[in-house]
Amino acid sequence: MTDDAFWAAALADAEVADAADPLAGFRERFHLPPGTIYLDGNSLGPAPLAALEALDEAARREWADGLIGSWNSAGWFDLPTRLGDMLAPLIGAGAGEVVVTDTTSLNLYKALHAGLSLRPDRRVIVAEGGSFPTDLYVAEGVLATRPDLGLRLEGVDGPELLDLVDEDVAVVLVNQVDYRTGRRRDLREVTARIHAAGAVALWDLCHSAGIMEVGLGDAGADLAVGCTYKYLNGGPGSPAFVYAAARHHGDIRQPLSGWWGHAAPFDFARDYAPASGIRRFLCGTQPILSMRALEAGLALTAEAGLAPVRAKSVALTERFLALAEAGCAPLGVGVFSPREAEERGSQVALTHPEGYAVMQALIARGVVGDFRMPDILRFGFAPLYLRHVDVVRAARTLQQVLAGRAWESPRYRARAAVT
């Protein structure tokens, strides 16, 4: 079969899959720039049309006309818990166990301290040495406030995360899906083994929330944090979330004791008394416009359902991997992600010695992924707006960039300020 015939057959097969796709109608509910195949939703999801409408409503009517009265009339004050209850089923949590607030970094700082408060007799945090850097930076920040604590890292202090967990460990911080490789951990099994050692399980869901069934409640997880601007399409800098199992609400403590987390914030009492439930993870006044935009993204994911989203995610990543290996492996591309679908999130990571320049050449041709050091080409597959034909066209464009050595152009090799 000739090269052109191979890609024509691949495209025809993708068109058949798209015709049978139960999620096909969701694509038209996003704003997608013409001529763009967007494979970077694992960094920033595109704008739902309903989010743009919500922003306009919140800015022009609720803020501009309603002014301060909108804290009551538009329900602004209750948005953190109302959105938390919308998000909860998407991560396997119950009502009252999730609050939408602040950033992932701030929430992680709160959650690490909260986990430590549940094990006051233990003095060690365990984390992944290859974790997204903010997780490690925040853990270092926690240690700076607690000189009695220690930090053990997978890949530094031992090859396997769970082998580092013993009777001295208070909290284990672990990502469900690795941000570079896309490797997925078994949340239920890992949580059970953490609990068997008497420690608290704290999960980072940034690369799994909204794209797969997480199952925090069924697994008995203690705490979790995550962002909402990736697969939940909340917009740049949209507020993150914190999960705390209801069984811990009476004992848990976190150090950012701002007035929104007070039991009676409008009493303006001098001394702090934490709210009785998940609101104790709140701190200060919330970003209302961002929250109103996020609501639309949460509603879309809830409407679609996580089972069909995950099924399509697997199909898209499988298709891309097969095409990349068939068409691009002879041109210097390696596979960095797990090949087994059940061990993978919704991204595929490839490698190439000139990965940065290759990605810039792809972006210039309308295929938007991203690059991670040192040589990783990272592609995210979001089923609500991506088609199977997009996958084929993206893989074909990658092959053309490599075969034509387009990446050798100086304009693609010059590093941007944000990569």
Q: Give the residue numbers marked as catalytic.
A: 132, 204, 229-230, 378
Q: 115: closest CA among 89, 138, 95?
A: 138
Q: What are the backbone dihedrals phi and psi of residue 74, each rounded to the nearest 5 degrees, phi first?
A: -100, 5
Distance from the first to the final alpha carbon of the chain:
38
Angle at alpha carbon of residue 234, lines to 233 and 237, rounded to 5°: 120
Rounded Cα–Cα distance for residues 288 and 55 (Å): 10
C-alpha closest to that of 143 among 153, 157, 155: 153
Alpha-carbon gap, residue 156 to 215, rounded angstroms: 29
Angle between helices 306-328 and 388-403 (to 10 degrees): 20
Q: How far apart are CA 10 and CA 319, in angstroms?
A: 9
Distance CA 82, CA 294 (A): 12
Which residue, among 90, 94, 93, has the nearest Cα to 306 in the 3D structure? 90
Amino acid identity, position 238: S
